[in-house]
Amino acid sequence: MKKWLIATKNKGKAKDFKLLFEKHGIEVISLLDLEEPIEDVEETGMTFEENATLKAETISKKLAMPVLADDSGLEIDFLDGRPGVYSARYAGEDKNDHNNLHKVLTEMKRAPDEKRTARFVCVLAVARPGKETITKRGICEGTITREPIGTNGFGYDPIFQPNGMTKTMAELSPSEKNNISHRGNALDKLENWVKGQ
């Protein structure tokens, strides 16, 4: 079976990718599966594209192999696009999902129902030695709930209700999430490239 390295240390993303790549007959491993620990790549970019490229190219250079990286986050209109590229570190550098989503809920307390629109954004970058890096962006539109609901998924899933659904992302099964998610959507756009692997 083909094997792909995803330059992530996020267990939730790694799980999403495992299922997403299964149907292409590709096995995925993440940085958490490597025997030698790899230093965190500093996410100094101002955009998802910059950060995804930074992660993919840094790890691809270090290991001299093709690498896929994902930079993603939640953009909330009422908060002028925050947390955006700072989604992972919104409530502090320790990257705590629980604290991050409660910070968002607190900031959204005053937002009326019609002003709770938001979107998940995912940019995937493929870096290969000696070749130009490819990036693709996927989005999933929805609204921010008033409390966390559901226990599946990770990150902001419990407070995000995708458009056209009465459930939060954290109430969907992993495959239901992948069908509509920003990550699934971005990977669809890489389809031709994935097929060529």
Which residues are known catalytic residues?
Answer: 71
- Residues near Mg ion (CB under 5 A): 88
Binding mask 92-131 for ligand Y43 (x = CB under 6 A): --------x-------------------x-----------
Q: 111 or 174, CB closer to ligand Y43?
A: 174
The CB-of-113 to ligand Y43 minimum distance in angstroms stands at 21
CB of 31 to ligand Y43, least distance (A): 7
According to CB under 6 A, which residues from 135 to 194 bind ligand Y43? 153-157, 169, 181, 183
Which one, of 55, 110, 45, lies nearest residue 84 by Cα? Answer: 45
Q: How far is the CB of 130 from ligand Y43 (least distance, A)?
A: 24
* Among the residue ranges 4-12, 60-68, 102-110, 184-192, the one whose residues contact ligand Y43 (CB under 6 A): 4-12
Which of ligand Y43, Mg ion, none is residue 9 near (CB under 5 to 8 Å by kind)?
Answer: ligand Y43
In the bound state, the residue with its beta carbon closest to ligand Y43 is 155
Residues of this chain, 59-88, that bind ligand Y43 according to CB under 6 A = 70-73, 87-88
Supply the DSSP string of the chain, one letter for each residue.
Answer: -EEEEE----HHHHHHHHHHHHTTTEEEEEGGG-SS--PPPP---SSHHHHHHHHHHHHHHHHTS-EEEEEEEEEEGGGTT-BGGGGGGTT-TT--HHHHHHHHHHHTTT--GGG-EEEEEEEEEEE-TTS--EEEEEEEEEEE-SS---SSSSTTGGGEEETT-SS-GGGS-HHHHHHHSHHHHHHHHTHHHHHT-
Residue 55 or 136: which CB sits closer to Mg ion? Answer: 55
Which residue's CB comes closest to Mg ion?
88
